[in-house]
Amino acid sequence: MKPAHPEHPAPADAPARAAIPPVVCYPVEGLPHPDLVALRAARDGWRKVSETLVPPRDARCFDVPAGHFVRITSVEGPQVGDLNLWSAQDLSERFFSGKTRALHGTHLSTGDRLWSSLPFLRPLATITADTLDWYGFDDHGGGVHDVIGTRCDPYTHNLLSQGGQYHHCCHSNLTRALADRTGLPLHEAERHVHDVLNVFMCTGFLRDTGQYFMKASPVRPGDFLELFAETDLLGALSACPGGDCSSEHSSDAARCFPLLVEVFAPQAPPAGWSPAPRNGYDRSHGL
Ligand SMILES: [Zn+2]
């Protein structure tokens, strides 16, 4: 957090230093671009192959084969979801929130990709539709679908609440869901839970202190986020105990609603599409 009263005086050339224009760390022009037209055309005549209703303050796993679509839809009332993705063949390849943020920015929308962890780093999924894309950034700097938060978890809650024990944070919900789906012991499953895509959550950073903030999500029933699976995926979604995250999470205080997860199979793979290839780095690390 930036101190209100710094301990060190600014040098004489401080304005000049601060006036240096920023440079985008990772220009994404060089990345292979998803062919959104071809991906969306593959939706014609698609067939729903599964439907999962995620109960409030709980999580569920779902499978999305490569080349299929998954839609996460708000039903009944405004609700935020915490999404984890793994390669279906190898749980050690999982969604890499930090690198996705570095590549695409703090909040994701149509055309952005969800990248996997090192040493894999390939697209796990591509966002093909986002009914909240109209929101952009509000006057507070808030946007939706962030990759800046982590996931609400009982350890942080324990620290902040001086010893509180709350068991329905997204971290615990995802842990139970993954243990249930895989048969892994609870504490082993927990190690595979990772930083999320905060679906529908409205967040940003306060300008004065840099602190992470949330505010009531603009999501309404019928809104959805749609992803195209670039490889075989195992997903898990938690309906956050914060509900629309307008006040607090890590408690049973907020009104919470279910989230609907639907998986669709296209009639044929999108034109020109093939599953995400392995990353091309040779992993010799200079030796
Ligand atoms: Zn949560």
What's the 185 CA to ligand 1 centre distance in angstroms?
22
> What per-residue confidence (pLDDT) applies to 6?
87
Name the least confident of 29-43, 50-64, 124-138.
29-43
Mean pLDDT of 106-122: 97
200 lies in a domain? yes
202 lies in a domain? yes
Mean per-residue pLDDT of the chain: 95
Name the least confident of 31-35, 211-215, 217-221, 225-229.
31-35
**pLDDT per residue over 65-104, tens digit each?**
999 999 999 999 999 999 999 999 999 999 999 999 999 9
* Overall domain count for the chain: 1
163 lies in a domain? yes
What's the 247 CA to ligand 1 centre distance in angstroms?
12
What's the 255 CA to ligand 1 centre distance in angstroms?
13
**pLDDT per residue over 216-230, tens digit each?**
999 999 999 999 999
Please list the residues that pair with 127 across neighbouring strands: 227
CA atoms of 170 and 267, how far apart (whole Å): 35
127 lies in a domain? yes
For residue 167, give its domain range: 49-256
287 lies in a domain? no
What's the 82 CA to ligand 1 centre distance in angstroms?
6
Cα atoms found within 13 Å of the Cα of residue 21, Cβ hemisphere only: 2
Statement: residue 251 has pLDDT above 80: no
CA atoms of 37 and 124, how far apart (whole Å): 19
Q: 180: pLDDT confidence band, cut at 50, 70 and 90?
A: very high
Statement: residue 252 has pLDDT above 90: no
The answer to whether residues 126 and 270 touch, using CB atoms and an 8 Å cutoff, is no
